Amino acid sequence: MLSVIILFPDVTTAQSMAFDTREATIDSVHHVLFSGLSTCREVVSAFLSRIEALNHHTNAIISLNPNALDIADSLDEALSAGNVTGPLFGIPILLKDNYDTIDVPTTGGNLALANSQPAEDAPSVIALKRAGAIILGKTNLHELALEGLSVSSLGGQTINPYDSTRTPGGSSGGTGAAVAASFSVFGTGTDTVNSLRSPASANSLFSIRPTRGLITRTGIIPISYTQDTIGPIVRTMKDVAVALTVMASTGYDEADNATALVPPSSRNFDYAAGLGNGTLKGLRLGVLNGFFNRTDGSETNPVNQAMDGMIRKLEDAGVMMVEIDEGIYNCTDIAILDTQRFEYRELMDAYLSHPSLSGKHPKTLRGLYARSGANGIGDFLVIPTQYEYVNTALASSTRNTTYTTIQSKISNITLALGSTFSRNNLDAIIYPEQKNLVVKIGFPSQTGRNGILAALTGSPVVTVPVGFSERSESAPVGVPIGMEILGRPWTEEKLLQIGYEVEKLGRVRRVPQWAKEVVEMKRYEKVPVVIPDTGNIPKVYPLGML
């Protein structure tokens, strides 16, 4: 099913064939490019055709890059000159719309930033372009990445491609939905608490939240110095490893001092080279029992069944499971240490007032958050959970004494986590990304997620699909369920190897029902314009200020 190639009899180049975008990988794109079966322009056109035809199912795209076809043409010239450079040569990708690019505005999904135009690419974007990636466009996100529902005033509600009644997780939910539907080979996300992991979990995908500092956060709309990280969301572990290698090649960045902590062994590391060199046999994995909800219920049972099934498979493969019952691993308690409300305003003021940000936009968080428009209608959706802490962020700062106390408690929990690893001689710790299925559209928050431990401690996490709920009318292939594999800082290589072995164990990933459709490739003169559907925003989230 996945390797159908359709021959177009009317094409001018004799060898040319349409490229099947469905479940395409870096290798499958390179195969058609390097064997001369297809061109960069055709590969890009095939993905654009797919987005144009199918985006209405999910509303994942905020904007398309008007330069994408021209870039494809210049890569085709390089290809025919035998000048193929970079591990992502000709690979179409999508960026979460909080990554700065010179191609299109960086909106954060917020109406007030609709025209906010960076004059510089984020360093991570420069690295992706230098490796040969073609940026197709930007994806919707939860407005300013402040919650996990993936609804925004500019992009509307992104719909889970597996279940039209559910959210796609978040905040990188547009990337999750788009990658699940094969709108690109992979996409990028950001993660302040859960946001690279929740969309992977809810869309049957793989992702990595790297150790804090591994990839510079410069040029990304910020939230938290302590918690922000960026990374890829992908359909296969191999492509996660390639994408991470490229994104982490940014190295030390004076503008993000967390990058100074990268140890020499992790600098310019090729995560793909030794990906297959791991083994599950003999591994010791901790199971965080406090990160499950064992209450009987239709939203929790599928998660527990999928996790229990995966644990049995891992044991059969020779993994030693170590149950961790320490009371400190309680998300409700840990969440009190969240630093966002202290760090947000200072970082956002610096981002918004940066001289390289052009176009009409507010210059401070206060300005962004202030009422706009004569009729008193604001530029934000009112979602109680996120506005409560934006309100707090406007009043507090890193000079607040509570912040100092919180930072020392974070040091304490970081030490406790290290002790759990050492005492039990663990290779990694596992738990479900979310204790329940991803929430339905219209819920006030994405409850039950377990991302806070890695977020506060800066630990790396690989997220993998582990199963699905039962099929139902609204979810014809079931609702996806994901697992986190958390490691000690700078153990990305080991975590990726574990994820790769887990992927081979299960072959869990499924394609959304409607995304099985083959879309005929159009021959574009120019990149089409996709308008996000804001008419689908649930009525419970009005526009305006609290």
Contacts to ligand NAG by CB under 6 A: 78, 81, 83, 85, 225, 257, 273-274, 277, 290, 293, 295, 297, 299-300, 328, 330, 332-333, 341, 392, 395-397, 400, 402, 409, 412, 416, 435-436, 448
CB of 361 to ligand NAG, least distance (A): 21
If the CB atoms of residues 358 and 402 are measured against ligand NAG, the closer one turns out to be: 402
User: 63, 150, 171, 469: which one is catalytic?
Assistant: 171
If the CB atoms of residues 82 and 535 are measured against ligand NAG, the closer one turns out to be: 82
Task: State residue 402 phi and psi, 5-degree precision.
Answer: -60, -35
CB of 183 to ligand NAG, least distance (A): 26
Task: State residue 434 phi and psi, 5-degree precision.
Answer: -135, 135
For the four alpha carbons of 521, 522, 525 and 527, in that order, the dihedral sign comes to negative
User: 28, 49, 96, 249: which one is catalytic?
Assistant: 96
Alpha helices (runs of H) in 288-330, residue ranges in sequence order? 301-316
CB of 342 to ligand NAG, least distance (A): 7
CB of 158 to ligand NAG, least distance (A): 24
How many Cβ atoms sit within 10 Å of the Cβ of residue 85? 11
8 A C-beta contact, residue 515 and residue 24: no
If the CB atoms of residues 109 and 219 are measured against ligand NAG, the closer one turns out to be: 219
If the CB atoms of residues 343 and 379 are measured against ligand NAG, the closer one turns out to be: 343
494 catalytic, yes or no?
Answer: no
DSSP 38-71: S-HHHHHHHHHHHHHHHGGGT--EEEE-TTHHHH
182 catalytic, yes or no?
Answer: no
**Cα–Cα distance, 362 to 113 (Å, whole number):** 8
How many Cβ atoms sit within 10 Å of the Cβ of residue 322? 16
| Residue located via tokens 């144009």 | 52
List CB contacts of 214: < 8 A, sequence separation 6 or more: 229, 248, 259, 262, 266, 460, 490, 492
If the CB atoms of residues 83 and 356 are measured against ligand NAG, the closer one turns out to be: 83
472 catalytic, yes or no?
Answer: no
List the structure tokens of 154.
């500019």
CB of 435 to ligand NAG, least distance (A): 5
CA-based nearest residue to 287, from 483, 84, 130, 518:
483
If the CB atoms of residues 96 and 129 are measured against ligand NAG, the closer one turns out to be: 129
**Cα–Cα distance, 528 to 54 (Å, whole number):** 13
If the CB atoms of residues 83 and 422 are measured against ligand NAG, the closer one turns out to be: 83
User: 124, 195, 207, 459: which one is catalytic?
Assistant: 195
The letter for the amino acid at 251 is: G
8 A C-beta contact, residue 109 and residue 140: yes
CB of 440 to ligand NAG, least distance (A): 13
CB of 447 to ligand NAG, least distance (A): 6
Q: Tell me the three-class secondary structure of 112-147, residue by residue.
A: HHCCCEECCCCHHHHHHHHCCCEEEEEECCCHHHCC
Q: Which residues are catalytic?
A: 96, 171, 195
